[in-house]
Structure 1
């Protein structure tokens, strides 16, 4: 009994290696894993007996070790892997978690799932076929996912008479391809999964190979270099308050270490405090590190909720609502720039738009291709705009806080996996966004203002500008910092280079939204008065400014009244054909679907409209 306890204790103390297999169809991934399990004596007798029986049932004249992992009936019937099969086993030196991933191109998304947390990837190459597109695709995905160690297992060497020449040929071809990828550590092992050559024991058929067997390599490879123990990142999963005298924040430390007494900041709010205690089920700790699930209490009462991130005050991640991402598309429907998606980043969910698609990557030659959208299993570089800023790191620095998934809010299905490669949208490789020493909250405190953007949309002549300037006067009299952005005024300077084509109208609104966001960041309330006839533009403006700061006001005045008013004589010119594509005459106005406020100036006076807007502000405070 003492021996059993000793074995269990040693097993718990040994570290875990998470690995994934990849490669093309029928390269022998499942057979390789089955052979690993069998030769390392990690198969129960009854399981092995069942595999023997199934091998005979399916007409094999040998023991088919692939059946140890191909658990789905459909896989056994087809002889392929179509799902991610996880297997757990251990040796005296290490514990292992293996993800056996599919080889077919249409199951690339499954491969991404299996490889997302891997420390090592085994990419199999059939010695007969050589390097094929799927081998390249999986190598590319592995490099994107930042897997620290890649093992190129040249399998089925028994079918090429254990040829050293053939092995070196494949090795050189792969190294030439991999030179274009960011892979730090590549190890080549020639083997035969079916015959057991170089799996656990060194092969007598390949005396020319002097390297380790696969199992020997897996037991001894160092994985600590891939773990970020520097940047403390603690996504809050839950606010733990069992009684009035205790308020802690529970979660799993994504990276770094934390000690009692450390100075911290809470993001995205920027509030500061110190760690009061680190609590676990086994009692309090003085220090905790990456991978541990703990509850942290703070010296100060701070408003923190699920999705916030606690970090060291002297080591901050980026905070932004614009991200540049390498995206693996997993959805059956193609990507859509006009659709609002949901992203999950750490413990936080946020709405987002795909604002641009820079290029798609051809996995065969790694060339960049211009496309309008991504389809199932395609990989591209995209720009995301989130409705609210989030704290994050580049994926190359921190896999835990640099990765995200994209979700279809209509079906709740994961449709994309992304790796953040840049802090924000870039228009040049050497352009970066800098964060000042004075934060948004400090500016708001200085000006005694919680800024919003009041976005007035409606037809020309509806009364938008009249309401805007009356509201500005009211705010000014109450000593609220405020500024009006008016359609005509901005075209005298900021947007004087734009015309009135559809593209120019889109760009006009985008620029205005960016300016409004900067005003809000400075603590100043903005009143934006623009026809902004397209729903798509207003949705994007909301995303740029942030939905919590954005109040859409629909000045819903009937067209015939606007034509009667015609304060600038524009309707008459449009009716006479002197102005093309004028909104309301030749171009349609897309009314807001869900505005926060709707005002009809034929029924509501300007003073009443101003009071309605001010009451809205009071209601959200």
Structure 2
């Protein structure tokens, strides 16, 4: 015979305790103290005095030297001390990986250090003369592409690191390497500014011929991928020696390269226009119990894609029907009263349970919710799938940090890649380098009382919330934009 929970039974007491805890948390949260209009005034007043902030993702084939390169840049700029680097050198030499000392600035996981590859996305910050950067060091190994997508989805600009040593570039660009896919991914996820760092060029005596050959191989491919050649810069560097990261000392390199150093190129990047007045959208990239020196409790991290968030504000977590209250906000390790579009933020929440949030959730105002869709129309560019795409084609759909099983249920039209005009209705299949309008249906069933949809918006409404990417069998097969949310 089963137990019945009465008015004073254990389940009732548990519910009362949860309700009491929720009320205490809500009382501890300060009320919203400043209007959005006042914040916008403050932001405009500060723009003249403060360096603009950009998010930068570093991508490229495994072993191209991404983590070492950016670890060295942070050291050259004084963000890491000589003592820290000396400690990393001593520790890495103990396990026979002395050349990985700078990479350990980012690769803090034991498995990363033992294997010598980046697995998770590492986030740091640094300043140049004219800019402040949130630096996202993404994994290059094929096994960790979903992590890399999550990192690239948060970026304003990218550094594509290629291996300039003999055979190194070819290994990454041709035979199944990640150089091509990473370039395609960052462009598909909205990155328009790209710096190509040709690393390890010291191993070929700073050969101008080698540098030019790499540029000539990459340029047509990057243009075809959608990068404007005027927004792509090529810089010869050596991560190990530090050459041309902040300055040039090699007479050979000086004799033929008249361009800028890597840091000078970073300093000249354009600052994107931020959608400050659009409704707030924060795709969640991590959920955790925060225990920092400044705040604690349930926390999420993510990039604010549009709008403004402030302490005391009530936010809806979609998909789902729960709301939470912002207890505290942290940007670059500091508590702030509000945070703006373009910022990578940690949001401490109360009055909501951890099981109502997950990677891929989107935080937004309850009065301006993101549509939660299980079906949508998209305009896509097909890359080079192993097999042609047909109706019923199963894929992994990526949207910000979320990946979810989906099916391309209908091929509605082939499109002209230049004009977007329909060239054929209801095609039988989609082959490489074609553009098309398709209908997509999610395959995930509802679970734990939450809806099975994914929060997204048409590209015409919110560019960053309207980008989607499709993978199958370990390769990226297509990417595009949401035209219409169907349900």
Question: Which segment drifts farther, 121-130 or 203-212?
Answer: 203-212
- Residue 62 of structure 2 is matched in structure 1 by 25
- Residue 159 of structure 1 is matched in structure 2 by 203
Q: Which structure has the larger Rg?
A: 1
- Residue 272 of structure 2 is matched in structure 1 by 224
The alpha carbon displacement at 1:138 in A equals 0.3
- Residue 130 of structure 1 is matched in structure 2 by 169
Distance 1:109 1:396, change over 3 A: farther
Please, which of 306, 310, 314 is the counterpart of residue 255 of structure 1? 306
Secondary structure, counterpart of 2:69 in structure 1: helix
The alpha carbon displacement at 1:291 in A equals 5.7
Secondary structure, counterpart of 1:13 in structure 2: coil
Distance 1:288 1:89 in 2: 18
Please, which of 350, 354, 363 is the counterpart of residue 407 of structure 2? 354
Q: Is there any run of 5+ residues in structure 2 with no aligned partner, and where? A: 1-45, 284-301, 310-325, 330-337, 348-362, 383-390, 413-427, 431-436, 444-450, 471-475
Q: Superposed, which structure 2 residues align to 1:444-455 within 5 Å?
A: none
Please, which of 364, 381, 401 is the counterpart of residue 465 of structure 2? 401
- Residue 218 of structure 2 is matched in structure 1 by 174
Are 1:423 and 2:467 matched, yes or no? Answer: no
Please, which of 104, 109, 119 is the counterpart of residue 146 of structure 2? 109
- Residue 324 of structure 1 is matched in structure 2 by 378
Secondary structure, counterpart of 2:58 in structure 1: strand
The alpha carbon displacement at 1:224 in A equals 2.1
Q: Superposed, which structure 2 residues align to 1:534-613 within 5 Å?
A: none
Distance 1:21 1:116 in 2: 12
Are 1:183 and 2:236 matched, yes or no? Answer: no
Distance 2:364 2:108 in 1: 36
The alpha carbon displacement at 1:290 in A equals 4.0
TM-score using structure 1 length = 0.44
- Residue 384 of structure 1 is matched in structure 2 by 441
Secondary structure, counterpart of 2:117 in structure 1: coil
Secondary structure, counterpart of 2:481 in structure 1: strand
Secondary structure, counterpart of 2:178 in structure 1: helix
Distance 1:423 1:389, change over 3 A: farther
Are 1:139 and 2:196 matched, yes or no? Answer: no
- Report the number of matched residues: 335
Distance 1:422 1:343, change over 3 A: closer
Distance 1:203 1:257 in 2: 45
The alpha carbon displacement at 1:90 in A equals 2.9
Q: Superposed, which structure 2 residues align to 1:50-65 within 5 Å?
A: 50-59=87-96, 64-65=101-102
Secondary structure, counterpart of 1:224 in structure 2: coil
CA-to-partner distance for each residue in 1:320-378, whole Å, 9 max, x for gaps? 952327699xxxxxxx96999999899xx9x996352769xxxxxxxxx969xxxxxxx
CA-to-partner distance for each residue in 1:220-239, whole Å, 9 max, x for gaps? 311224x3467x234599xx
Q: Superposed, which structure 2 residues align to 1:190-205 within 5 Å?
A: 190-204=236-250, 205=252
Distance 1:75 1:234, change over 3 A: closer
Secondary structure, counterpart of 1:24 in structure 2: coil
Secondary structure, counterpart of 1:70 in structure 2: coil
CA-to-partner distance for each residue in 1:144-194, whole Å, 9 max, x for gaps? 001121111111000111011111111011011112111232111111111
- Residue 263 of structure 2 is matched in structure 1 by 215
Distance 1:114 1:234, change over 3 A: closer
Secondary structure, counterpart of 1:88 in structure 2: strand
- Residue 314 of structure 2 is matched in structure 1 by none
RMSD: 5.2
Distance 1:203 1:345, change over 3 A: closer
Q: Are the aligned partners of 1:393 and 1:420 in contact in 2 as well (CA < 8 Å)?
A: no
Distance 2:454 2:147 in 1: 27
Distance 1:63 1:203, change over 3 A: farther
Q: Are the aligned partners of 1:191 and 1:198 in contact in 2 as well (CA < 8 Å)?
A: yes
TM-score using structure 2 length = 0.55
The alpha carbon displacement at 1:44 in A equals 3.2
Distance 2:460 2:232 in 1: 18
Secondary structure, counterpart of 1:125 in structure 2: strand
The alpha carbon displacement at 1:23 in A equals 1.0
Distance 2:215 2:400 in 1: 38
Distance 1:43 1:257, change over 3 A: closer
CA-to-partner distance for each residue in 1:228-286, whole Å, 9 max, x for gaps? 467x234599xxxxxxxxxxxxx99743699xxxxxxxxxxxxxxxxxxxx9999xxxx
The alpha carbon displacement at 1:307 in A equals 6.1
- Residue 23 of structure 2 is matched in structure 1 by none
- Residue 155 of structure 2 is matched in structure 1 by 118
Q: Superposed, which structure 2 residues align to 1:465-480 within 5 Å?
A: none
Larger RCO (CA under 8 A, 6+ residues apart): 2
The alpha carbon displacement at 1:317 in A equals 10
Distance 1:54 1:370, change over 3 A: farther
